[in-house]
Amino acid sequence: MLAVDKIVKNIEDKKLKVGRYEFTSRLFVGTGKYSSMEIMVDALEASGTDVVTVAVRRVKISETTSLFDYIDTKKYKILPNTAGCYSADEAIRTAHLARETGISDMIKLEVLGNEKTLLPDPVETLKATQILVKEGFTVLVYTSDDPIIAKKLEDAGAASVMPAGAPIGSGQGILNKNNIRIILESAKVPILVDAGVGTASDVTIAMELGCDGVLLNSGIALAKDPVRMAKAMKLACESGRLAFLSGRIPKKLYAKASSPEKDF
Amino acid sequence: MKITLNGELKECPDGITVEKLLDLYKIDKNRTAVELNLQVVPRKEHSSRILKEADVLEVITFVGGG
């Protein structure tokens, strides 16, 4: 028997727990902006995700097709968002309607403060979090990368705090790694980077920092080949997670040879 | 009588219930939620809740989003 046969280590990861829900994949994927429903279906499949986000909108009277003709709710957990809300009251109203559909008590809380920047309004976000938590929602809250407000949202009972890597849809990646590090240092709930991811390496960086997951939409949906990009994001998420768990070597100024010194 | 359904003024029979109104406009009841004058109407009350003149009804569902 080869020595290698004895040393196969179990590197299975533990599941991601958000409130009372458990997920195998650490990638949460949005369902907006795809050029067709068929491409969305394939992209979701390729991403390996367990959770997809959806938005709450008025029923179009006489429309016969539904998003759920394309999304298998047995396969994916549905995470409704409060996108487009600019006050705590509006977001709470949207959350109530989302829950009443019977799809989930999870809500991706998003309260924006400005139409141009789409940056979150921290005051209204905190207010809505406090109320929705009291009402029994599992709140996954979108916020800026500010460590102080992130901690306040956690203290308010959010099941997950989701700082933006960069503005929504900007594709700029993780702009302030230091803030994400500070948030992670004291976090007691899962931290997911939500928004700003442009390409696979952005996901890897978030995961290498120690984030518990990444939520993205445009990075896949608006790529030239969304299905291929979805696969790239899946691998990036897994790679970053493995690298984080492995513990990287420290950075050094000078070289250090990998081979022993020549002795002949 | 006239009610407002998803922002549009609509004509419907007097004393119609929420459920019958959804049927009238062929709205799929699956994965939808109804709000009457800014208050959520629980699903189990759809068949008993009667609408009146000038009621404002919102019926929502899910669409693609991030």
Is A245 within 8 Å of A9 (Cβ atoms)?
no
Percent of chain A with pLDDT over 90: 92
Question: With a CB-CB cutoff of 8 Å, which residues 46-85 of chain A face chain B?
Answer: 53-59, 61-62, 66-68, 78, 80-81, 83
Each residue's pLDDT tens digit, B22-42: 999 999 888 899 999 999 999
Give A253→chain B minimum CA distance, Å: 42
In a domain, B30, yes or no: yes
Domain assignment present for B21: yes
Interface TM-score (ipTM) > 0.90 = yes
CA distance A66 to A121: 31
Taking only the tens place, the pLDDT of each residue in A133-156 is: 999 999 999 999 999 999 999 999
**Percentage with pLDDT > 70 across chain A:** 97
The CATH number of whichever domain residue B39 belongs to comes to: 3.10.20.30
In a domain, B18, yes or no: yes
A25-42 pLDDT per residue, tens: 999 999 999 999 999 999
Assigned domain for B51 exists: yes
Nearest-by-CA chain A residue for B10: A61
Which residues of A, range 108-167, sit inside 8 Å of B by Cβ? Answer: none
pLDDT at A66: 86
- What confidence score (pLDDT) does residue A131 get? 98
Whether the pTM exceeds 0.90: the reply is: yes
> Does B9 map to a domain?
yes
Whether residue B7 is contained in a domain is answered as yes
pLDDT reading at A62 higher than 80: no
CB-closest option in A32, A33, A100 to B33? A100
**Does residue B66 lie within any of the structural domains?**
no
Place of tokens 């690298």: A243
Paired residues of A57 in beta bridges: B61
- A147 within 8 A of A179, measured Cβ to Cβ: yes
- Number of domains present in the structure of chain B: 1
Q: Indicate which residues of A carry an active-site annotation.
A: 108
**Which residues lie below 8 Å from residue A255, measured CB to CB, with a gap of 6+?**
none
Give the nearest chain B residue to A89 (CA atoms).
Answer: B38
- B 7-46 residues with CB < 8 A to A: 7-8, 25-28, 30-35, 38, 40, 42-43
Write out chain B residues lying below 8 Å of A68, CB-based. Answer: 30-31, 62
Band of residue A218 on the pLDDT scale cut at 50, 70, 90: very high
Q: Using DSSP, how many helices (H) and how many strands (E) does chain A show?
A: 8, 10
Which of A59, A81, A193, A214 to mutate against chain B (most B CBs within 10 Å)? A59
Q: Domain range for residue B44?
A: 2-61
Kindly state the tokens that stand for A43.
């992209």
- Residue B56 covered by a domain: yes
